[in-house]
Amino acid sequence: MSHPLRFPIAIASLCVALVTSFGAPATARAANTPADEAARTDSAVIAVDDHWLEAEVSGDTAWLDAMLMPDYRSISPEGKVLDKPRLLANAVKNRGSDTMRRKVDAWIKTHPTRKAVVMHGDVAILSFSDPQTGRVRSSDIFVYKDGGWHALYSQHAKVE
């Protein structure tokens, strides 16, 4: 869930590692279809992230399981790790929870957010910042693989 609590730490070194690991050669990219290229846009990354939030709140574990990379990790502001199995378990708990929906809606209402995407080949970094201060609250790193964007890593900051 990318919205409230993600923040980039060591993003530059992680991006270098990701691009080295996942970057496709230019000749492979030249063979991409127009539909594939249309999916490699800022708005496509943001749409996947928006769906991610809704999937966590509604408990759509099938969609989450397909979208998250097997080794997905999220790091809390306190440095705690949330892995894919734990995120999926939390989504099951959220299924049908009006309480979770109210909490998320209240947070979104009181924390306006600006989204910004930086892409490098098959890697996209989506950052969420406070539009008034510019301070980044969280970031997600996505990898384009098998025709879609998949979350690999998230980092959260303390919200002030």
User: Average pLDDT, stretch 118-132?
Assistant: 91
User: Shortest CA distance to 150 belongs to which of 38, 96, 71, 87?
Assistant: 71
Domains of the chain: 11-156 (3.10.450.50)
What are 75's strand-pairing partners? Answer: 81, 155
Q: How confident is the model at residue 27 (pLDDT cuts 50, 70, 90)?
A: very low
Query: Three-class SS of residue 154?
Result: strand
pLDDT at 71: 97
37-93 tens-digit pLDDT: 768 899 999 999 999 989 998 899 999 999 999 999 999 999 999 999 999 999 998
pTM metric for this prediction: 0.74
59 or 5, greater pLDDT: 59
When computed from its CA atoms, the radius of gyration of the chain, rounded to whole angstroms, is: 16
d(CA 80, CA 82): 7
- What value does the mean pLDDT of the chain take? 80
